[in-house]
């Protein structure tokens, strides 16, 4: 059984969708550790309620950014993590961790990258920008993480229509429903070999 390490900062709905997919067998994996930079995040509460191991790693626990990176890498390795999943993680992943998990760190982004990605494009800002640009469709992207924001190889995308009366909030909700399905589906495809990760 492959082991997943999830990095979260906020409410954790994608994390929860992955945990549910593991529980129902849609995803043949288990979450071995949830790590958050935010000790008050809802995601940590959800994980603890489900008896999943958690860790708080941040500039409070590790003021030196290099030590923080090393602690992140060691926590993932100690918990035998195979794949690292960013699920609303608001910090950059450090070089040590990226090197140790090269090509095995994934992120989910609420747009069709490369459109509406990069620095500052997170949360509701993404959906505001899509509506301002009068896009007719947006979507969800699952991609590998490298040292650039939203810059790594795209593994999966799914389109979502933008409706004429959409607000950023209504659009975010429609996109989020797809996020909850696509993340687990993509990880399962990696596990069963129908998506091959680049070397």
Closest CB to ligand GRF among residues 166, 179: 179
- 11 binding ligand GRF? (CB under 6 A): yes
- 88 binding ligand GRF? (CB under 6 A): yes
Binder among 73, 109, 127, 143 for ligand GRF (CB under 6 A) = 109
Lookup: tokens for 190: 């990696």
* Cβ(27)–Cβ(187) below 8 Å: yes
- 13 binding ligand GRF? (CB under 6 A): yes
d(C-alpha 9, C-alpha 59), whole Å: 13
Binding track over 160-189 against ligand GRF, x by CB under 6 A = ----------------x--x----------
Among the listed residues 56, 109, 125, 180, the single catalytic one is 109
Binder among 12, 117, 139, 152 for ligand GRF (CB under 6 A) = 12
Closest CB to ligand GRF among residues 64, 125: 125
d(C-alpha 71, C-alpha 21), whole Å: 28
d(C-alpha 11, C-alpha 129), whole Å: 22
105-109 vs 137-144, strand pairing mode: antiparallel
d(C-alpha 65, C-alpha 67), whole Å: 5
Q: Of the listed pieces 10-18, 68-76, 113-121, 145-153, which binds ligand GRF according to CB under 6 A? A: 10-18
d(C-alpha 187, C-alpha 34), whole Å: 16
Is 109 an active-site residue?
A: yes
Size of the residue set binding ligand GRF (CB under 6 A):
13
Which residues have C-beta within 8 Å of that of residue 155, sequence separation ≥ 6?
106, 142, 143, 144, 186, 190, 195, 197
- 151 binding ligand GRF? (CB under 6 A): no
Using CB positions, name the residue nearest to ligand GRF.
88
* Cβ(111)–Cβ(168) below 8 Å: no
Interacting residues toward ligand GRF by CB under 6 A: 10-15, 87-88, 108-110, 176, 179
- The residues assigned a catalytic role are 109
């Amino acid at each position: 059984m492959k082991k997943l390490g999830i990095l979260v900062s906020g409410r954790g709905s994608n994390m929860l969708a992955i945990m549910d997919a593991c529980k129902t067998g849609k995803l043949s994996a288990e979450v071995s550790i949830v790590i958050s930079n935010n000790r008050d995040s809802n995601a940590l509460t959800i994980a603890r309620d489900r008896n999943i191991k958690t860790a708080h790693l941040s500039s409070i626990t590790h003021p030196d950014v290099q030590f923080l990176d090393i602690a992140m890498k060691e926590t993932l390795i100690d918990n035998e993590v195979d794949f690292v999943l960013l699920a609303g993680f608001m910090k950059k992943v450090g070089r040590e961790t990226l090197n140790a998990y090269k090509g095995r760190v994934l992120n989910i982004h609420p747009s069709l990258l490369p459109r509406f990605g990069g620095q500052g494009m997170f949360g509701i800002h993404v959906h505001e920008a899509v509506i301002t640009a009068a896009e007719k469709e947006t979507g969800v992207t699952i991609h590998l993480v490298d040292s650039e924001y939203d810059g790594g190889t795209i593994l999966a995308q799914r389109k979502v229509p933008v409706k004429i009366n959409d607000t950023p909030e209504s659009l975010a909700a429609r996109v989020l429903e797809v996020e909850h399905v696509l993340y687990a589906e993509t990880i399962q495809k990696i596990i069963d070999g129908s998506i091959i990760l680049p070397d």
